[in-house]
Structure formats: structure tokens, C-alpha cells
């Protein structure tokens, strides 16, 4: 079990939502989404952690919107944390970001493409913050024990492991749901990234595509095999989103989504 503020993840505790827009599009957008998602999550009785990236460093195109950057992005996330009263999570891409990010974020996330970058992983772990590390699209779940060892080497055992799909040919990801079971055998909570799992990387040439219609069924499968939290990128108007719109959950669908996943989790228990 890992504790984030008053939220307990894993160890038989209720399913947790980690959610928000893919990238911080503006201060107003971040605060608005956080407050609306919190209202919906509260009404569903689902603990909520806000996620949005201050910088998307791995966009398909050099001209793609990346976000407000470290300084402004962290300022916005602090405001979200204060106004919505929820823990916040964002990605760190470089050692230079770790210290300022740790001063604001409750969870430091290591992106999937960077999960083997030893210096970054150890630096983030050394802050003592909760670390959410995404399994690389190119890795087996068994290999994550090596990543865990790097975090534990820094004296940190506040670890979340995230399944987000595995590369399957060009522009396609698939989920092997054994991955959740295998990673749970490490003793650490496992998160299912429901929206990046339906992403089609660079599927639109200079940007990623996605198949958001599969978010619900794949999430049901993840809950069925025992995930401890659901990572869901959410936007009120995905078609207008500045990043990953095709694979995001529409805000209007969130209430039904949470109700379905919570009910399923309770039945399984």
C-alpha cells in the first residue's frame, strides 16, 4: 500500500482515479478540469489525484504544443492543489526538473520512454516522494523489477507501477493483462493507464491517434485482474484538446465510467 496524502493506493483499498487533461493548456483550464473532476469523483465516492503535464517532452512533432514549461506549470499545479484540495502528479523528464517538481508535486511520474534512465529514476526516488513509473512500451512486466531496484537503491519504497500498453508493430499498442498480475507480485500497487493504452503513437503522422471507444472495456479488464488505480486523461472537449485528444475520455462520460468501475471493483472484492 502507498499513501498519497489521505489517499491509500493498493492493499485492498478502494480503486483510485488519477486523472486530468494530458497537458496543462492554461491556468483556467487546469483549475476548471480539476474542480469538475473532483466534484464527479466525490459524488462517485472515488479518491482522486489530479494529473496534467507541465511539459510533453516526447511529442511526435517539433511544432506540437508541449505545455507551459516547468516554472509556470508547477505554479499552476500548486494552485490546483490548493484550490481543489487534491494531490497532484506530473512527469519529470530530466534531473534538473526533479528538485523544483518535488517542492510542488505529491507524485513524481517517470514517463514510459524514460523508465530505464538510471540517473533520472534514482534522482526522483531520492526526493522521498511517491514515484509513479510507467512500464516502457518496449519492456516486459518482469523487467520492472530492475526499475524497482533502482528506486529502492535510493531508499524509497513509495512506488506505483503503471501498465500503459506494449508496442505491437507500427502505431499500435496492445495490453497483456497478465502484466498487471505480474507487477502486483512485486508487492507494489499497480495502476492501469486506460487512455494511453488506446493511443496510436504517431498514428496521424505528426501527432498521435487513438481509439477512445475502447477505454471502457479495457478498463473493465484491468479492474477484473486487480489494478489498484486507473490513470485516465480527461478533457471536456477532446476534439479541441492540444494533446492526445483522440485517446482521452470525455468529461461528460466520467460519471458513468467511475460508477461502472467502482461497482465492478466492489463486486470482485
> What are the structural domains, with CATH classification, of the chain?
2-268 (3.20.20.70)
Q: What is the pLDDT of residues 158-181, one digit of tens each?
A: 999 999 999 999 999 999 999 999
Tell me the three cell numbers of residue 102: 518535488
pTM for the predicted model, two decimal places: 0.96
Tell me the CA end-to-end span of the chain in Å, nearest whole number.
Answer: 16
Give the pLDDT of residue 39.
Answer: 98
Q: Quickly count helices (H) and strands (E) in the chain.
A: 8, 15
pLDDT in tens, 41-79: 999 999 999 999 999 887 667 768 899 999 999 999 999
Give the Cβ contact number of residue 145 at 10 Å: 12
Q: Report residue 257 as a C-alpha cell.
A: 465510467
The string of pLDDT tens digits covering residues 224-251 is 999 999 999 999 999 999 998 999 999 9
How many Cβ atoms from other residues are within 10 Å of residue 213's Cβ?
8
pLDDT value for 73: 98
pLDDT digits (tens, 9 = 90+) for 144-157: 999 999 999 999 99
Give how far the C-alpha of residue 165 lies from the chain's centroid of Cα atoms, to the nearest Å: 13
Cα–Cα distance, 49 to 95 (Å, whole number): 24
Amino acid at each position: 500500500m502507498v499513501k498519497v496524502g489521505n489517499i491509500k493506493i493498493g492493499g485492498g483499498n478502494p480503486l483510485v482515479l488519477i486523472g486530468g487533461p494530458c497537458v496543462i493548456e492554461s491556468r483556467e483550464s487546469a483549475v476548471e478540469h480539476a474542480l469538475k473532476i473532483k466534484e464527479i469523483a466525490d459524488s462517485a465516492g472515488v479518491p482522486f489525484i489530479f494529473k496534467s503535464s507541465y511539459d510533453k517532452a516526447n511529442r511526435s512533432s517539433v511544432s506540437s504544443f508541449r505545455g507551459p514549461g516547468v516554472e509556470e506549470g508547477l505554479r499552476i499545479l500548486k494552485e490546483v492543489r490548493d484550490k481543489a484540495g487534491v494531490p497532484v502528479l506530473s512527469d519529470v523528464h530530466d534531473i534538473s526538473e526533479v528538485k523544483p517538481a518535488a517542492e510542488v508535486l505529491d507524485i513524481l511520474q517517470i514517463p514510459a520512454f524514460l523508465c530505464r534512465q538510471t540517473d533520472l529514476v534514482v534522482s526522483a526516488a531520492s526526493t522521498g516522494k511517491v514515484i509513479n513509473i510507467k512500464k516502457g512500451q518496449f519492456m516486459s512486466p518482469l523487467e520492472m523489477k530492475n526499475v524497482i531496484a533502482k528506486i529502492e537503491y535510493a531508499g524509497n519504497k513509495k512506488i506505483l507501477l503503471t501498465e500503459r500498453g506494449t508496442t505491437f508493430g507500427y502505431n499500435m499498442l496492445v495490453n497483456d493483462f497478465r502484466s498487471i498480475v505480474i507487477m502486483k507480485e512485486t508487492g507494489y500497487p499497480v495502476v492501469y493507464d486506460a487512455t494511453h493504452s488506446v493511443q496510436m503513437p504517431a498514428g496521424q503522422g505528426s501527432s498521435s491517434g487513438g481509439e477512445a471507444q475502447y477505454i471502457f472495456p479495457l478498463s473493465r479488464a484491468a479492474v477484473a485482474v486487480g489494478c489498484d488505480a486507473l490513470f485516465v486523461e480527461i478533457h471536456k472537449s477532446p476534439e479541441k484538446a492540444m494533446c492526445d485528444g483522440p485517446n482521452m475520455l470525455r468529461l461528460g462520460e466520467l460519471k458513468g465510467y467511475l460508477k461502472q468501475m467502482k461497482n465492478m471493483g466492489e463486486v470482485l472484492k
